[in-house]
Amino acid sequence: MSKGYWVSVYPTIEDPETLSDYNELAGQAVRAAGGRVLASIGGRVVAHEAGIAERVVLIEFDSFEQAVAAYESEVYRKALAELPSGFQRDFRIIEGRD
């Protein structure tokens, strides 16, 4: 079974404090689904070409299905509701290679 990953890139974050409620709820959803944060806020990033170095988050799940289920969970829906208006991110769920 292939692992699943959440990959998030945030082009700009004007006020990181506005993400505190989202971060708390999203963390609960990730932990409940068995996710593990591999890279997150404060990690070093070297961006190339059109790459964005502001904030990159990489979370691993034991399966692609777990990653999708975590996103679709009630707790994560509550987290999404806490994202500030006008907030932008590039979020993907990808299947790992065995």
Backbone angles phi, psi at 26, to 5 degrees: -65, -40
48 CB-near residues (< 8 Å, 6+ apart): none
In tens digits, what is the pLDDT along the chain, a chain of 98 residues?
899 999 998 877 777 788 889 999 999 999 999 999 998 877 777 888 877 777 889 999 999 999 999 999 999 999 999 988 777 888 999 999 97
CATH code of residue 75: 3.30.70.100
In the prediction, which pLDDT does 60 show? 98
How many domains would you assign to the chain?
1
Domain range holding 23? Answer: 4-95
* Amino acid in the structure at residue 54: E
Which pTM value belongs to this model?
0.87
CA 42 remoteness from chain centre:
14
In the prediction, which pLDDT does 37 show? 93
In the prediction, which pLDDT does 10 show? 82
In the prediction, which pLDDT does 54 show? 74
Buried b (16+ CB within 10 A) or exposed e, 44-70: eeeeeeeeeeebbbebbbebbebbbbb
